[in-house]
Chain A
Amino acid sequence: MINQSNPPFVREPFLKGYLSHEKNLSPLPKEVDVLIIGGGLLGASLSYYLAKEGVEVLLLERDEINREASGTNAGSFHFQIALHQLTPNMSDKEKSRLAAEVKLQVDAAKLWDNIEKELDADLGVFFDGGIMVAESQEEMRVLKDKEEIENSAGLESHILTGDEMRTFAPYLAPDLAGIAFCPREGHANPLLVTPTYAYRAMELGAQIRTGCAVLSVEANSSTGASHRFKVKTNRGEIYCHRIVNATGAWATDLSSQLGLNLPMGLSGLHVNVTEPREYFLKSMIQHIGRRLTLKQTHNNTFIIGGGWPSHPESYPKRYSNYWSSTTGNLAVALRVLPMLKDVKLLRTWTGVWAYTKDFKPILGESSKVPGYHVAMVPTGFTLGPMVSRMLAEYISADKPIHNIPQEFSVDREVLK
């Protein structure tokens, strides 16, 4: 059995301060070059990358930084192919499409590799690999396809079964059909990543205002106008050249004001956290056929999630949890890691998950409304910083560049 842990280890606070409350609440400037709406991971990291390029940027957040999906997800990296994309007996065409996506994930992994150095902060980043378990022979076949695609795209993964599996991961239920181990998988602390990006952005000159809600956006159609957009907020009006909608789950609200229809849907995600126990689980665990992510954090707690549903509410009410999501999710966790049975569940939480209907990011400038950009990613935690950097390159380029894949287009039509 797992032993009770010593008191959680004491961390040195890595940032002396957080954001400045006075500055957050100070009046808005009259005008700005790039206005970013939404203080989640995308908004904060984009502010950082733009400020680093010397672009004048203002980030508006209606509540506080990192309060929604960016801070309520379970912090997993999803470099391996997401299970909702895998089917038994995939065609070669499907496999090569997935391989292209894996390449994007490999790039994201490189960014996460360096992020603590880049931001000079401890963000709870672990790169200790990920285990994907299979219970049945059918699941094993999917696991093998996944390994083949990933290896072809440059993402290392290995299949282990039988005694080999039991020796490699003795804590797993011994009767699992097999596992895939991806050494590049990992996780980070979602409570720290976004605030740190925001803090570093501010140091680089980005302006940040919290408690500032955008009420309406008007595009200026008259040619020769000094500014393309007039934005009304609860704290007054502001003019800007370019807008980035980084409002995540609420991206459709703002876009529809400009006549744009984003191919998005919303869902709630349930997460469980346990009391701390002695650290032993280095690798994150997922299940190829069922909804499970399971990891042990810096603070020695176990975070158990994987996409179980929660009850949606309208802003500003928080989503609420379903009891059945807890009991079901924990049962899958125990099936895979039986030694958790005596560990106590401490708390659950939930947040919104915004996804696109084709599971691809929405990224870039709209061709219908020039100057209006959207940054929205379904696996936002894993890919968020990387797509932000991509968009920052696009926005800060002196000459027009085409660095964003066409399939991420803001104006794409997605069949339901």
Chain B
Amino acid sequence: MAAAASAARHGVQVALIDERTTFGGQIFKRLGPGFHLADPADLGNDYSRGAQLIEGIDHRLITLFNETLVLTIEGSTVITSHPRFGVRNFSFNNLIVAPGAYDRPVVFPGWTLPGVMTAGAVQTLVKTQQISPGRKILFAGSGPLALAFSAQLIKLGAPVYKVLESAPFPSPLSLARLALNVGGNLDLAADALRYQSILLKNRIPFLYRRIILKAEGDGRVESVTYGKVDRNWNLIPGSEVSESVDTLCIGYGFFPSHELLRLVDCSFSYDENKGGFTVDKDRWGQSSIEGIFAVGDGTGVTGSYSAVAQGSVAGLRIAHLQGKLSESDLERAARPFHRELAARNSFQKALNKVYSIKPGIYRLADKDTVICRCENIKKSEIDPIVESTDDLSVIKSYCRAGMGLCQGRNCQRQIAAMISEKHGKDLSEINFATPRFPVKPVEIGLIADPSIQEEKYFIT
């Protein structure tokens, strides 16, 4: 939305495509139909920031296409489908891909039990439908997210009774480092303080150096076990604690949804703290492919404030590329955003000193744990193949892990970590399986096109 608004404001014709029925994405999502908001403050800062952004896309040069699913990009055409209108192609001069992120799947015994939910899913339920998923919710996670989400959930009336954080209590040194970099991030710091006070006020215990170990129950989660961890998030034996709960909320950060960007074959780097593979881009957000820009958490998770700034910069750059903005005007208009991004970036780096994902997160599964939940493939079925190869595609083709509905979004990184552990390869060296369209499943009847004729064989 930020990118569309910033480009349109400078005279660029924009088509804004979104898969959902309403705009706002995951962070700024609106209430479901039929729900009313008594006090916007209940939904926090995000709600009003979202309202501003949504206002910004109400522009004569922006055409909105919602319920429109991007299936693939071929050359300079984006191919989409709509549940009622079918396939629609968009030709572009410039493309901005802002695909967002999804909750980092954490594989541990019981992670597929009903009642085990990701923070994003719980948040959606609570925000848009005002339904709490349970009566006794344990929140297990790490990073600013664990704090923010658990506090937001409590504010919205979801009964979180305890929060587990895998990282240790921040050291004085790292707190000092955060304080030094807080310039330009006061909003984030204020958010954090507010969340902290919500937890304090509600007397919710916030335990450091704890990780979720397993969830158990007959048909749904009834109890969970967690334990103390060392610096690498490995369990300290003997520290296990079991408690009865009816809901377990998992929030260990996000993975970028970069399937489309992999499909167009732009170049990537690796940063575990930004969700793994991150898109290489210049300071305007242009990927390694000319004309294709990539912004927001879908290119490397850096949060919604940074995403808005990235989008604004990319929109300005495109206005310049299309001759609507001179070089000097571009620099001037972009300067505040570039400054903001620099500040966000250094704060993020300081934060990563406190909260960074450690390898222990990949060591929670046991032999009976289902790794690929779509195809129901257990760790014990994958292990022997990992013994024989360090190639993710080979493992996939041999045991079907990653071939199901989610196309590996949930299991590929876990399997990559198994390869990494077995063969001593760095996670950054282990590529996902070959990207292919459609990026998301789509009904055959929506896309089949009888007007396409193949080259005939010999029959005339």
Please state if B445 and A86 are interface contacts (CB–CB under 8 Å): no
A121 within 8 A of B: no
With A7-B376, A21-B423, A348-B437: A330-B394 Cβ-Cβ less than 8 Å? no
Compute the total of residue contacts between A and B using a CB distance below 8 Å: 150
Residues 281-304 of chain A: 1 if any B CB is under 8 Å from the residue's CB, otherwise 0? 000000011110000000100000
Residues 375-387 of chain B: 1 if any A CB is under 8 Å from the residue's CB, otherwise 0? 1100001001101
With A67-B394, A291-B454: A343-B405 Cβ-Cβ less than 8 Å? no
Query: Measured between C-beta atoms, what is the minimum distance from B215 to chain A in Å?
Result: 19
Query: Measured between C-beta atoms, what is the minimum distance from A81 to chain B in Å?
Result: 12
Please state if B398 and A191 are interface contacts (CB–CB under 8 Å): yes
B49 within 8 A of A: no
Query: Measured between C-beta atoms, what is the minimum distance from A228 to chain B in Å?
Result: 32
B450 within 8 A of A: yes
Q: Which residues of B contact A210 (CB under 8 A)?
A: 389
A318 within 8 A of B: yes
Q: Which residues of B contact A207 (CB under 8 A)?
A: none
Residues 408-445 of chain B: 1 if any A CB is under 8 Å from the residue's CB, otherwise 0? 00000000000000010000000000101110011111
User: In whole angstroms, what is the CA distance A21 to B389 when docked?
Assistant: 6
Please state if B436 and A64 are interface contacts (CB–CB under 8 Å): no
Q: Which residues of B contact A66 (CB under 8 A)?
A: 394, 397
Q: Which of A299-316 contact B (CB under 8 A)?
A: 299, 307-309
Query: Measured between C-beta atoms, what is the minimum distance from A74 to chain B in Å?
Result: 14
Q: Which residues of B contact A17 (CB under 8 A)?
A: 384-385, 387-388
In the complex, what residue of chain A is closest to B384 when comparing beta carbons?
A17
Please state if B385 and A275 are interface contacts (CB–CB under 8 Å): no
B13 within 8 A of A: no
A contact patch SS: mixed
Q: Which of A318-377 contact B (CB under 8 A)?
A: 318, 321-324, 326-335, 340-349
Please state if B454 and A328 are interface contacts (CB–CB under 8 Å): yes
Please state if A334 and B452 are interface contacts (CB–CB under 8 Å): no
User: In whole angstroms, what is the CA distance A348 to B440 when docked?
Assistant: 11
Report how many residues on chain A are interfacial, defined by Cβ distance under 8 Å: 65
Please state if A327 and B447 are interface contacts (CB–CB under 8 Å): yes
Please state if B458 and A87 are interface contacts (CB–CB under 8 Å): yes
B391 within 8 A of A: yes
Please state if A323 and B389 are interface contacts (CB–CB under 8 Å): no
User: In whole angstroms, what is the CA distance A86 to B458 when docked?
Assistant: 7
Please state if B397 and A333 are interface contacts (CB–CB under 8 Å): no
Query: Measured between C-beta atoms, what is the minimum distance from B29 to chain A in Å?
Result: 24
Q: Which of A379-409 contact B (CB under 8 A)?
A: none
Please state if B459 and A346 are interface contacts (CB–CB under 8 Å): no
Please state if B387 and A333 are interface contacts (CB–CB under 8 Å): no
Please state if A327 and B448 are interface contacts (CB–CB under 8 Å): yes
Q: Which of A19, A289, A307, A344 contacts B443 (CB 8 A)?
A: A344
Please state if A328 and B453 are interface contacts (CB–CB under 8 Å): yes
Query: Measured between C-beta atoms, what is the minimum distance from A359 to chain B in Å?
Result: 12
User: In whole angstroms, what is the CA distance A334 to B443 when docked?
Assistant: 11
A88 within 8 A of B: yes
Query: Measured between C-beta atoms, what is the minimum distance from B187 to chain A in Å?
Result: 41
With A21-B423, A321-B437: A328-B452 Cβ-Cβ less than 8 Å? yes
Please state if B399 and A327 are interface contacts (CB–CB under 8 Å): no
In the complex, what residue of chain A is closest to B388 when comparing beta carbons?
A18
Please state if A21 and B454 are interface contacts (CB–CB under 8 Å): no
Q: Which of B190-220 contact A (CB under 8 A)?
A: none
With A291-B454, A344-B441: A331-B449 Cβ-Cβ less than 8 Å? yes
B304 within 8 A of A: no
B9 within 8 A of A: no
Q: Which residues of B contact A117 (CB under 8 A)?
A: none
Query: Measured between C-beta atoms, what is the minimum distance from A301 to chain B in Å?
Result: 8
Q: Which residues of A contact B85 (CB under 8 A)?
A: none
B87 within 8 A of A: yes
Please state if B444 and A333 are interface contacts (CB–CB under 8 Å): yes
Q: Which residues of A contact B389 (CB under 8 A)?
A: 18-19, 21, 24, 64, 210
Q: Which residues of B contact A347 (CB under 8 A)?
A: 403, 407, 436, 438
Q: Which of B391, B444, B455 contacts A343 (CB 8 A)?
A: B444
Q: Which of B437, B442, B453, B460 contacts A88 (CB 8 A)?
A: B460
Q: Which residues of B contact A290 (CB under 8 A)?
A: 454
In the complex, what residue of chain B is closest to A343 when comparing beta carbons?
B444
B390 within 8 A of A: yes
Q: Which residues of B contact A330 (CB under 8 A)?
A: 444, 447-449
In the complex, what residue of chain B is closest to A317 when comparing beta carbons?
B265
Q: Which residues of A contact B449 (CB under 8 A)?
A: 324, 327-328, 330-331
CB-defined A-B contacts under 8 Å, sample of 10: A13-B381, A13-B399, A21-B389, A21-B390, A64-B389, A67-B394, A274-B444, A340-B444, A346-B404, A346-B407
Report A's interface with B, CB cutoff 8 A: 7-8, 10, 13, 15-21, 24, 64-67, 71, 83-88, 138-139, 142, 191-192, 195, 210, 274-275, 288-291, 299, 307-309, 318, 321-324, 326-335, 340-349
Report B's interface with A, CB cutoff 8 A: 71-72, 74, 79, 87, 375-376, 381, 384-385, 387-391, 393-394, 397-400, 403-405, 407, 423, 434, 436-438, 441-445, 447-450, 452-460
Other than the given A299-B375, A309-B455, A344-B441, 18 more pairs (CB < 8 A) read: A21-B388, A64-B394, A67-B393, A86-B459, A87-B459, A138-B459, A191-B397, A289-B459, A309-B454, A323-B79, A323-B437, A328-B453, A331-B452, A334-B445, A340-B445, A341-B445, A344-B442, A345-B447
List the 3 closest A-B pairs by CB distance, nearest first.
Answer: A341-B445, A328-B452, A18-B388
